[in-house]
Amino acid sequence: MITLAIETSCDETSAAVLNKDKVLSNIILSQQDHSKFGGIVPELASRSHLESIVSVTRTALLNAGINLKDINLISATSEPGLIGALLVGLNFAKSLAASLNIPFIPVNHIRSHLYSNFLCNQKAIYPFIGLIVSGGHTMLVLVEDFNMHTVLGNTIDDAAGEAFDKAAKLLGLGYPGGAQIDNSAKSGNENFIRFPKAKIKNSKYDFSFSGIKTSLLYYLRDVSENEKSRADFVNDVCSSFQKTVTDDLFEKTVSACSEFNVKKISVSGGVSANSEMRKKFNQLKSRNFEVYFPEIQYATDNAAMIGLCGYLSYISADDKTFFKSASLLTPAKARLDYEKF
Ligand code: KG4
Ligand code: ZN
């Protein structure tokens, strides 16, 4: 069963080829045009996807040693994401499926992050608590089976990755900033500043990261120039900021594990590349937890996770004819209504 997968929800144009759940190729083209604007410009993202979608797909097929006629299934991200960017990949994939007369599977991008941990010879291990931390989403999910998800918590304002990006911008570290903060934090003092932790009324598992960003803004406005010019100043700020954000993610995840009596955790999304996140969560292994992080290439947006989620959707569906008509007629949304995202 060969799946071709396409991901264009944000600023990565990606195509992957899978044989069942094994990745044969995974090509990711990260758009470079956005950094000078300090954030993604949706119009530029759509145009850039249009320019590269065909060559990225060709390269994925070539690297996998697969011809168009060998593909059995096509999947693409249908939501959520930048609408113009999504339309490029979604319509490209649907048209290709229609022309090859093969099934098309729409895939929810956030849900697919959950499965990025199961791309490397590791089968999904239900039930698990999934923590999805990316530039656009922060979500805590109880996953009992492929079709059984309960969203426990969500961000009520900024996503964790967005908070890293905004903090990096305030510190003049460039965009996207998560990896830069991670790097600087390595030689900083995490107890240098005590940022406030967000308290959310009537909610155990929701997140809020806009307060810490504002605290950082005021701190940088008020701190002396002399202090700012100290060699380790930025490292200390990064380390303290990173500690506050990762402590919050860690504590809520562990508390969900204890409430639902689950000792398996899957962390995914761009922020799962963070070294402090990995250190903190991996320490749980000594308390008999199973902890999963994606390989770095599958942490940020990629089509391989869309392919795996599409393939798993297809094999778990009772009525496979649905996917056939979906490629031609049905809005992708219809299939996704049963999902709780
Ligand atoms: O999953 P992703 O590629 O895109 C979305 O679906 O949003 O996540 C991108 C986010 C960015 O905010 C980026 O700053 C963050 O992941 N990120 C990191 C690290 N690497 C990427 N955040 C913290 N530490 C990192 N090492
Ligand atoms: Zn993502």
Which residues does ligand 1 sit against, CB inside 6 Å?
A: 10, 134-136, 161-162, 164-165, 176-179, 182, 269-271, 273-274, 300-301
Q: How far apart are CA 128 and CA 236, in angstroms?
A: 34
Average pLDDT value for residue range 198-226: 93
Q: How far apart are CA 273 and CA 133, in angstroms?
A: 10
Q: Ligand 1 centre from 50 Cα, in Å?
A: 23
Which residue bears the tokens 């307060």? 211
pLDDT at 329: 36
pLDDT at 330: 39
Identify the residue with better confidence: 338 or 275: 275
Pocket probe for ligand 1: among 181, 268, 271, 341, the residue whose CB has the most ligand atoms within 8 Å is 271
- 3-state SS, 101-134, equals CCCEEEEEHHHHHHHHHHCCCCCCCCCEEEEEEC
CATH: 3.40.50.300, 3.30.420.40, 3.40.50.720, 2.30.30.90. Which one for 2-114+299-337? 3.30.420.40
Q: How far apart are CA 241 and CA 192, in angstroms?
A: 9
β 73-79/264-268 pair status:
unpaired
Q: What is the pLDDT of residues 115-134, one digit of tens each?
A: 999 998 677 789 999 999 99
β 73-79/104-108 pair status:
parallel
Is-contact 43 31, C-beta < 8 A? no
pLDDT at 34: 73
pLDDT at 71: 98
Q: How far apart are CA 127 and CA 169, in angstroms?
A: 38
Could you state, in order of their start, the residue ranges of all structural domains in the chain? Answer: 2-114+299-337, 128-261
Identify the residue with better confidence: 109 or 331: 109
Average pLDDT value for residue range 151-169: 94
Q: Could you give phi then psi for residue 134, rounded to 5 degrees? A: -130, -170
Distance of CA 262 to the CA centre of its chain: 22
Which residue bears the tokens 């240098």? 192
Same fold, 2-114+299-337 and 128-261: yes
Query: What is the position in ligand 1's atom list of the atom closest to the CA of 109?
Result: 6
β 128-133/138-145 pair status:
antiparallel
Task: State the CATH architecture for 128-261.
Answer: 2-Layer Sandwich (3.30)
Tell me the Ramachandran region of residue 65: left when phi exceeds 0, alpha when psi lies from -120 to 50, beta otherwise: left
